[in-house]
């Protein structure tokens, strides 16, 4: 009976994981501004992996690539806030740039951008099983796959150059130039992390305040 109950709980947990819906899979109220200057309103669904936005209005769905988009705004009901995205030129090769969709997290002389993606990873379930299984005399625990949102961060400088952040603390401080010592002190004082979105926003806001943004 205990074994049956355990299997049922595990199955329900797995089912809940499959049922999870991410913001990029949902339709959001919002509007889209094209390079032509036209503003289109309706339900929007974004695809940052392929740099596409779908617009649903009057029972018609149209798809726009980043090459045609200036920016778009949505109200994301999963977090109850507005989100802002711009199509910006990004260097993909030494002398080649293409329009890429970025979400703006903070805008200033130094701006913080991000791109989200859905990733699937394998997670050991050591705590989920009452006993280890054994194979070849060695203990092991089955893995369960899960999906989650991953964020890649970028910094937009005043000259229009977009630099990807490699999630290393020393690289982060390098974006703050001559004020990095002050930012580092602020970071330490407030126990801010170099890989947390809300902390990165605070650090960029502090830096922009220092330079008089």
Q: Are 91 and 162 in contact (CB under 8 A)?
A: yes
* pLDDT score of 8 more than 60: no
Question: Residue 86: which pLDDT band, with cuts at 50, 70 and 90?
Answer: very high
Q: Tell me the C-alpha distance between 111 and 129, whole Å.
A: 46
77-86 long-range Cβ contacts below 8 angstroms, 24+ apart = 77/26, 77/28, 78/23, 78/26, 85/46
Long-range contacts of 64-67 (CB under 8 A, 24+ apart): 64/32, 64/34, 65/99, 66/98, 66/99, 66/100, 66/101, 67/35, 67/98, 67/99
Residue 213: predicted pLDDT: 53
For the segment 129-155, what is each residue's pLDDT rounded down to a tens digit? 444 444 455 555 567 788 899 999 999
Average pLDDT over residues 21-43: 96
3-state helix, strand, coil in the chain (%, to 5): 25, 45, 30
Distance between CA atoms of 20 and 80, rounded to whole angstroms? Answer: 18
**pLDDT tens by residue, 91-120:** 988 788 999 999 999 999 999 999 999 998
12-26, 42-56, 110-124: segment of lowest average pLDDT? 12-26
pLDDT above 70 coverage of the chain, percent: 81
Q: Which residue has the higher pLDDT, 56 or 132?
A: 56
In the structure, what pLDDT confidence band is assigned to residue 64 with cuts at 50, 70 and 90? very high
Binned at pLDDT 50, 70 and 90, residue 50 comes out as: very high
Tracing tokens 């001559």 back to the chain, one arrives at: 178
pLDDT of residue 168: 96
Which of 134 and 7 is assigned the larger pLDDT? Answer: 134
* pLDDT given for residue 12 in this prediction: 37
pLDDT the model gives residue 13? 40
CA angle 141, 21, 34 (to 5 degrees): 135
Residue 7 has pLDDT above 70, yes or no: no
């Amino acid at each position: 009976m205990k074994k049956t109950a355990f299997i049922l709980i595990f199955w329900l947990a797995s089912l809940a994981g499959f049922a999870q819906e991410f913001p990029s899979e949902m339709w959001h109220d919002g509007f889209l501004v094209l390079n032509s200057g036209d503003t289109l309103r309706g339900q929007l669904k974004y695809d940052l992996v392929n740099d596409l936005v779908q617009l649903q209005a009057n029972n018609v769905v149209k798809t726009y690539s980043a090459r045609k988009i200036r920016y778009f705004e949505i109200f994301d009901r999963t977090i109850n806030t507005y989100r802002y995205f711009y199509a910006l030129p990004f260097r993909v090769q030494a002398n080649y740039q293409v329009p890429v969709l970025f979400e703006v997290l903070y805008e200033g002389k130094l701006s913080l951008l991000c791109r989200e993606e859905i990733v699937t990873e394998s997670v050991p379930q050591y705590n989920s099983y009452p006993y280890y299984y054994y194979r070849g005399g060695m203990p092991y625990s089955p893995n369960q796959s899960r999906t989650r949102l991953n964020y890649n961060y970028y910094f937009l400088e005043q000259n229009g150059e977009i630099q990807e952040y490699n999630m290393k603390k020393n690289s982060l401080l390098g974006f703050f130039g001559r004020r990095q010592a002050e930012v580092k002190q602020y970071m330490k004082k407030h126990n801010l992390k170099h890989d947390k979105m809300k902390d990165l926003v605070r650090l960029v806001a502090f830096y922009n305040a220092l330079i008089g943004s």
